[in-house]
Amino acid sequence: MKKAEKLTATARKALCEAFSFAAELGSSCVGSEHLLVGLMRDENSSVSMRLSQLGITAESLSDRVTACAVKGSAGELPSQGLSFSCRRIVSRAAQEAAKRGMASVGAGHLLLGILSEPDCTAAKLLHGSGGEPALCAEVLSSSAGSNYSCPSRNNKS
């Protein structure tokens, strides 16, 4: 199966926001937590609206990430690009899009990518914010095109 190669405008915007947020914190790379905040910063995106329904906001996530982030020199773009975990998330998002017959990776696919990595920081933030990953996946499945089930914490794929 061929992976979806392109990003939708919303997914591109989320990645740009992730890089901006990482730069604000002076992070050397963009981690899953930055990507999650990037997804939430577009208040009109389906991901942001659906997670807001669960009581998760960009502000609350930003505050939690900022509180535990290792601070560097703010303002410069992350010199190392995407972290290994974040690259894996984007790759899984592309697989999810392709599995659904879509040529482009959307913001919902990026969130599915995060949910497929239950040990990444973003998934832990969602869990700690009341966004139980299985519930997030259930809410997303209608917009992503089919049912999605999260891997259990004990069963890594």
Tokens 């499945």 — which residue? 141
**Radius of gyration of the chain from Cα atoms?**
14
Q: pTM (2 decimals)?
A: 0.81
In this prediction, residue 4 carries a pLDDT of 55
Name every residue whose Cβ is closer than 8 Å to that of residue 111 and which is 6 or more positions away in sequence.
36, 39, 47, 51, 136, 140
Condensed to tens digits (0 to 9), the pLDDT of residues 35-54 reads: 999 999 988 888 888 888 88
Condensed to tens digits (0 to 9), the pLDDT of residues 56-108 reads: 888 888 888 888 766 666 666 667 889 999 999 999 999 988 888 888 999 98
Top-level CATH class of 6-144? mainly alpha
